[in-house]
Every structure is written in structure tokens, then in C-alpha cells.
Amino acid sequence: MWAAQNLGSALLAAALFGVLGIALTMLGYKVFDWITPNLDLQRELGEKGNIAVAIVVAAVIIGTVILVVSAMA
């Protein structure tokens, strides 16, 4: 019984941290989009297929995830 309660609380905590991590990552991307007003990310990635912008956006997302994970640890 005790192990099931610990498992349930651990799964709940993991789910909450996962949702919080995803939300903070999305917020980090939105902040990057906000501070670069001259760059239309959706048009550059979707219509033009700009690989350089895709690499920069990927680096921003990975950097944000590293910050989020280190803040949660």
C-alpha cells in the first residue's frame, strides 16, 4: 500500500514537472520571438524553409530547456 502511494505521488510530480517544463520552454520561445520583431519566424521556417533560422530556433529551444532543467533540479 505504501509503495503504491509513493508511486502515485512520484508519477503526479513527474507529470507536473513535465507540464511545467513544456510551458516554460514555450514561454522561452515566445520571448525569443518577441525580442526579434524584424524576423518573422513562421514565414522564414514555413514558406522559405530557411535552414539557418531553423538552427537558431533549435539552439534557442535547447538553451531554454537546459535552463529550465537546471532551475528545476
In a domain, 61, yes or no: yes
In a domain, 5, yes or no: no
Indicate whether 4 belongs to any domain: no
Q: How far apart are CA 73 and CA 68, in angstroms?
A: 9
Is there a domain that residue 44 lies in?
Answer: yes
How much is the pTM?
A: 0.79
Question: Long-range CB contacts (< 8 A, 24+ apart) of 23-26?
Answer: 24/64, 24/68, 25/61, 25/64, 25/65, 25/68
What pLDDT, in 10s, does the model give residues 4-55?
678 888 899 999 999 999 999 999 999 999 999 998 988 999 999 999 999 9
CA angle 15, 21, 45 (to 5 degrees): 125
Arithmetic mean of pLDDT, 44-69: 93
Q: Is residue 53 part of a domain?
A: yes
Closest CA to 65 of 16, 24, 20: 24
Domain span including residue 37? 19-72
Residue 29 resides in a domain? yes
- What is the number of structural domains in the chain? 1
- Residue 49: DSSP 8-state: -
Task: Establish if 3 belongs to a structural domain.
Answer: no
- Is 14 contained in some domain? no
